[in-house]
Amino acid sequence: MDRLDGFMKYNRQTAPYRPVSERIHDYNDINTYLVEQDIYKQAARCMDCGIPFCHSLGCPLNNIIPDLNKLVSQGLWEEALRRLENTNMLPEITGRICPALCEAACTLSINNSPVTIKQIELAIIEKGYKEGWVKPIIPKLENNKRIAIIGSGPSGLAAAQVLRMKGYDVTVFEKSFGLGGILRYGIPNYKLEKWVIDRRIELMRKSNIKFETDVNIGEDISYRYLKTRFDAILLTTGVGSPRDLQIPGREAKNIHFALDYLQKSNCFLSNEISLEDSISVENKSVVVIGGGDTGSDCVGIAIRQKAKEVLQIEIMPKPKEWNFSWNPEWPLWPMILRTSSSHEEGAKREWSILTKKFIKEGNKLCGIHCSRLEWIQSGNSSSLKMVEIPGSDFIIEADLVLLALGFVNSEYQKLIEDIKVDRDEKGNIKIYAKYMTSVNGVFAAGDVNTGISLVVKAIFQGRESAKAIDEYLSKI
């Protein structure tokens, strides 16, 4: 009966974060989790509506969300897992770090609180691991064709699993010592503990998927070599080159790219590097330039490293605040103010700030020369125009700056130049019909094609590119 009136009978319930006073002293998972009985109630809130926007518009993976909710509400957990595995190769990852666009698209959120889809998804896969339902891939038939996947991020891992299901001999090459790409080196442990990745990698190894680490394709191994040994090549190298801020004083010491900071923090925590080789902000005044998720992740690490103070500044105007349980109508939804777990931990934020100059004492950073901006509507257009407010210049004292300004293109420039694939004006690899690049037999998926995007979208492209490779090779 709950399936008929669950959305009226139960309120939305989410698991809170661990208390700030506790979590800022470690790098462990910041989340707590709902018990199974609570998950059942949350799944029962799904209306199984006639047009499930959560599935059709909200989820880049096209997870069949109403079916998952229905099965969980009926206690059919293993069947729910099988349905989830049909579309999502890494649900333990998306269940932890996906921004849950599906919940924003939930019909309930028109005037109520959306279904807790993300927590239900995570509960399904974790119960699957606990019960031993998640097993290595055993293809029905081996086809003796070999695939090289360059990059072990979310696209590469997703593609490797799909190709192995179809009987391919798959080798994943990774330039770092650890596997997982951005999942391992770009996302803080407190959001994604690395045992989660290791557990999936171990399962993939048992599926006879091969991994070669500390191998920089294009440097250690040439494209010419790969072409002679593999039937197809998939580029899933991500976007690793950070966008710089070339203003006076940029050469000052203690100005770092955000991803370098995050990578070194994760490497130190996993004992890959020493404390001296990492970037420590202990007892420093830290300014993060850039208001996105990467900047927010830097804030969380800086607080755990016991920075004296942390300020995050953004050139764009402050988003609109929204304090209701339901979602605002489009197009307002992407533009509302969002407060991350890191922001809750004590950082300050300011918007409409133009960074004009880094101030030095000798060659050491000591401050930032900024001014305030006004954003005004440009004519009849909905776009905003940036106008510097006269006389608004001011100085921010800073011992260390982290640049979180996004990314521009892949780090594998030598490989890409050797292959001679077409690229767009931003430096991303172009794909044509069915994920094929301009070079026959070479495919691309994920951020290396789209530019920086969501992990869930990278997984989708990894899955779909694997299907395209299978179709291509089946015709040869």
Could you read off the pLDDT of 218-268 as tens digits, one per residue?
899 999 999 999 999 999 999 878 999 999 999 999 999 999 999 999 999
Least confident residue range of 126-140, 294-308, 405-419, 437-451: 405-419
Topology of domain 244-405, per CATH? FAD/NAD(P)-binding domain (3.50.50)
Could you read off the pLDDT of 431-466 as tens digits, one per residue?
998 999 999 999 999 999 998 899 999 999 999 999
Could you read off the pLDDT of 255-281 as tens digits, one per residue?
999 999 999 999 999 999 999 999 999
> Distances from the Cα of 97 to the Cαs of 7, 103, 228, 435, in angstroms?
25, 14, 38, 26
- Specify whether the CB–CB gap between 215 and 415 falls below 8 A: no
Q: Is the pLDDT confidence value at 371 over 90?
A: yes
Cβ neighbours for 10, distance < 8 A, ≥ 6 positions apart:
2, 41, 42, 44, 45
- Specify whether the CB–CB gap between 446 and 142 falls below 8 A: no
Mean pLDDT for 290-316 is 97
Helix (H) / strand (E) element for 93: namely helix 91-97
| Proportion of the chain above pLDDT 70, given as a percent | 99
Confidence of residue 322 (pLDDT cuts 50, 70, 90): confident
Q: Is the pLDDT confidence value at 1 over 60?
A: no
At position 329, the amino acid (one-letter code) is: E
Could you read off the pLDDT of 411-426 as tens digits, one per residue?
677 888 899 999 988 8
- Dihedrals phi, psi of 51, to nearest 5 degrees: -120, 95
Give the residue with greater pLDDT, 281 vs 57. Answer: 281
The rounded radius of gyration (Å) of the Cα atoms in the chain is: 23
Angle of CA points 144, 146, 152, to nearest 5°: 140
- Specify whether the CB–CB gap between 154 and 187 falls below 8 A: no
Question: Cβ–Cβ contacts within 10 Å for residue 325, how many?
Answer: 13
> Distances from the Cα of 402 to the Cαs of 120, 188, 253, 286, 344, in angstroms?
35, 15, 11, 8, 19
Give the residue with greater pLDDT, 362 vs 383. Answer: 362
Cβ neighbours for 362, distance < 8 A, ≥ 6 positions apart:
none
Q: What is the pLDDT of residue 111?
A: 85
- Dihedrals phi, psi of 8, to nearest 5 degrees: -95, -30
Confidence of residue 326 (pLDDT cuts 50, 70, 90): confident
For the chain, what are the domain ranges? 2-20+29-131, 146-240+408-474, 244-405
Q: What is the pLDDT of residue 414?
A: 81
With 0-12 / 13-18 / 19 or more C-beta atoms within 10 angstroms meaning exposed / middle / buried, residue 65 is buried
Which tokens go with 54?
């959560």
Could you read off the pLDDT of 164-214 as tens digits, one per residue?
999 999 999 999 999 999 999 999 999 999 999 999 999 999 999 999 999
Distance separating the N- and C-terminal Cα atoms of the chain:
54
Mean pLDDT for 332-360 is 92
Confidence of residue 3 (pLDDT cuts 50, 70, 90): low
With 0-12 / 13-18 / 19 or more C-beta atoms within 10 angstroms meaning exposed / middle / buried, residue 131 is exposed
Q: Is the pLDDT confidence value at 351 over 50?
A: yes
Confidence of residue 330 (pLDDT cuts 50, 70, 90): low
Confidence of residue 382 (pLDDT cuts 50, 70, 90): confident
146-240+408-474 and 244-405: identical CATH topology: yes
At position 34, the amino acid (one-letter code) is: L
Q: What is the pLDDT of residue 246?
A: 96
Q: What is the pLDDT of residue 378?
A: 77
Predicted model pTM: 0.95
Q: What is the pLDDT of residue 443?
A: 98
Mean pLDDT for 36-62 is 92
Topology of domain 2-20+29-131, per CATH? Fumarate Reductase Iron-sulfur Protein; Chain B, domain 2 (1.10.1060)
Topology of domain 146-240+408-474, per CATH? FAD/NAD(P)-binding domain (3.50.50)
Question: Cβ–Cβ contacts within 10 Å for residue 5, how many?
Answer: 12
- Dihedrals phi, psi of 27, to nearest 5 degrees: -110, 20
Residue bearing tokens 């593609």: 159
- Specify whether the CB–CB gap between 458 and 445 falls below 8 A: yes
